[in-house]
Amino acid sequence: MTIDPMDPVVGEKGRLALVEHVAVTSPIRRRQRWWWIGVGVFAGVGLIGGVGATAAGSLIEPGADIVTGYGNPVTGTYTGSHTIELGGTPDSATSIMVELTCLSGGIVYLPDGTGTICPDLGAGMTSRTPLTLSAEQDSLEVRTSDPTVGFHAHIIYTGMTPTEWAVNENSDTYGATNTRGEPDLISVMTTEGRLGYIYADQLSEASGRTAAKDFTSPAAALAWQEEREGTAAMIAIYESDGQTVIGEFEAGRW
């Protein structure tokens, strides 16, 4: 019998799913102290969508998608998994922006595989995720880790215009993460509202994303987390030059 090598993309998703599985079955202890300006969710860290509003005066980071909303938003409060009807799709819409607000502890999953982890004391935490529309899509399936998980959804049809990352004098790209990937230096926002940048490779190492590539079972992922229990992974925050340190970023807390 011949066994084909695992597709690297599938393998990566599988390994990250192990981390997600552990997060579902073990207590959630992390508290968000910083925001990424980017898309998606990884290992319990809340992310702000890598998008910029079209309103004048709004901050648009390099690499962020400029988003235009179409029609009226669909809003509602839900408990447990739910299929949310979106109504007819506007002709110019190519995506939807999904804003989820935690009402209780648990995990809320979206169809693209991302999940918003709501700490037990995390009511009110909000994440925004852009999703590409599939052909004739007029609803959104949202799943939860438990039937008792509550969340508020605010969904609107959108169109996106991509922007390019900026490049500093060291030839490092910097700006917002987006659906096309991540720059060398990722935009982060402190709770005080100060903008800075962290190195993507340092973030991957500190947050466990690099280690997750070698996980082969939920037990391996859990062991990795237990080794770091009670610790926080801190990495430097820089100006856009990637050299001037202006603070520290909490990449993970166990």
Other beta carbons within 10 Å of 203: 24
Residue 47, pLDDT score: 33
Of 143, 161, 179, which closes a domain?
Answer: 161
Query: What DSSP element (H or E) covers 47?
Result: strand 47-48
Residue 39, pLDDT score: 35
On whether both 169 and 251 belong to a single domain, the answer is yes
Residue 56, pLDDT score: 33
Q: Which two tokens stand for residue 28?
A: 């959630």
Distances (CA, A) of 62 to 129, 193, 196: 18, 17, 13
Spatial distance between the Cα atoms of 112 and 179, rounded to a whole number of angstroms: 11
Q: How many domains does the chain have?
A: 2
Which is higher by pLDDT, 214 or 140? Answer: 140
Residue 1, pLDDT score: 29
pLDDT tier at 120, thresholds 50, 70, 90: confident
Q: Convert 61-86 to b/e letters by CB count within 10 Å (16 or more is b).
A: bbbbbebebeeeebeeebeeebeeeb
pLDDT tier at 164, thresholds 50, 70, 90: very high
- Given the DSSP bridges, would you call strands 106-109 and 185-190 parallel, antiparallel or unpaired? unpaired
Average pLDDT, the chain: 75
Residue 214, pLDDT score: 78
Q: Which two tokens stand for residue 128?
A: 């925004």
Spatial distance between the Cα atoms of 23 and 43, rounded to a whole number of angstroms: 7
Where in the sequence is the domain holding 134, given as residue range(s)? 65-161
- Given the DSSP bridges, would you call strands 173-175 and 185-190 parallel, antiparallel or unpaired? parallel
> Up-side HSE of residue 35: CA atoms within 13 Å toward CB?
19
On whether both 223 and 250 belong to a single domain, the answer is yes
- CATH number of the domain that residue 114 is part of: 2.60.120
Partnered with residue 78 across adjacent β-strands are 151
Residue 190, pLDDT score: 65
On whether both 171 and 127 belong to a single domain, the answer is no
On whether both 29 and 87 belong to a single domain, the answer is no
Q: Which of 139, 135, 79, 132 is nearest to 108 (CA)?
A: 79
pLDDT digits (tens, 9 = 90+) for 53-66: 433 334 578 998 78
On whether both 154 and 203 belong to a single domain, the answer is no
pLDDT tier at 191, thresholds 50, 70, 90: low
Which one-letter DSSP state was computed for residue 165? P
On whether both 174 and 252 belong to a single domain, the answer is yes
pLDDT digits (tens, 9 = 90+) for 76-102: 999 999 999 999 888 889 999 999 999
Q: Which two tokens stand for residue 220?
A: 């391996």
Cα angle vertex 186, ends 102, 37, to 5°?
Answer: 30
Residue 121, pLDDT score: 65
The four Cα atoms 81, 87, 93, 96 give a dihedral, to 10 degrees, of: -20
On whether both 20 and 80 belong to a single domain, the answer is no
Q: 193 CB contacts (<8 Å, ≥6 apart)? A: none
Q: Is the model's pLDDT at 129 over the cut of 90? A: no
pLDDT tier at 6, thresholds 50, 70, 90: very low
Q: Is the model's pLDDT at 232 over the cut of 70? A: yes
Task: Compute the average pLDDT of residues 121-138.
Answer: 82
Of 95, 129, 161, which closes a domain?
Answer: 161
Which one-letter DSSP state was computed for residue 218? H
pLDDT digits (tens, 9 = 90+) for 207-231: 777 877 777 777 877 887 788 788 8
Of 106, 131, 161, which closes a domain?
Answer: 161
pLDDT digits (tens, 9 = 90+) for 7-33: 333 334 334 333 443 333 333 333 333
